[in-house]
A and B are shown apart, each in its own frame.
Chain A
Amino acid sequence: DQQVKQNSPSLSVQEGRISILNCDYTNSMFDYFLWYKKYPAEGPTFLISISSIKDKNEDGRFTVFLNKSAKHLSLHIVPSQPGDSAVYFCAAKGNSGGGADGLTFGKGTHLIIQP
Chain B
Amino acid sequence: DTGVSQDPRHKITKRGQNVTFRCDPISEHNRLYWYRQTLGQGPEFLTYFQNEAQLEKSRLLSDRFSAERPKGSFSTLEIQRTEQGDSAMYLCASSFAANTEAFFGQGTRLTVV
A43 CB contact (under 8 Å) in B42, B99, B105: B105
- Contacting chain B: which of A62-70, A71-79, A94-102? A94-102
Residues from chain A with Cβ under 8 Å of B33 in the complex: 101-103
Report if A49 contacts B (CB, 8 A): yes
Q: Which residues of B contact A46 (CB under 8 A)?
A: 101-104
* A-contacting 9-mer, from B14-22, B43-51, B75-83: B43-51
Centre residue among A4, A44, A104 by max chain B CB count within 10 A: A44
Q: Is the CB of B58 within 8 A of A101?
A: no
Is B69 an interface residue when CB atoms closer than 8 A count as contact?
no
Residues of A within 8 A of B46 (CB): 102
Structural contact, A43 and B104, CB atoms closer than 8 A: yes
The answer to whether B41 and A43 touch across the interface, beta carbons within 8 angstroms, is no
* Cβ A99 vs Cβ B45 within 8 A: yes
Tell me which residues from 66 to 113 in chain B have a Cβ below 8 Å from any Cβ of chain A: 91, 93, 98-99, 101-107, 109
| A114 contacts B by Cβ under 8 Å | no
Least CB distance from A91 to B in Å reads 7
Q: How many A-B residue pairs have CB under 8 A?
A: 63
| A89-B43, A102-B48, A104-B45 as given contacts; A42 in contact with B102, CB under 8 Å | no
A44-B43, A89-B43, A107-B42 known; A34+B48 contact, CB < 8 A:
no
Question: With a CB–CB cut-off of 8 A, which chain B residues contact A106?
Answer: 42
Binary flags per residue of B23-54, CB closer than 8 Å to A gives 1, else 0:
00000000101010000111111101000000
B106 to chain A, nearest CB (A): 5
B107–A101 touching, CB < 8 Å: no
Residues of B within 8 A of A (CB): 4, 6, 31, 33, 35, 40-46, 48, 55-56, 58, 91, 93, 98-99, 101-107, 109
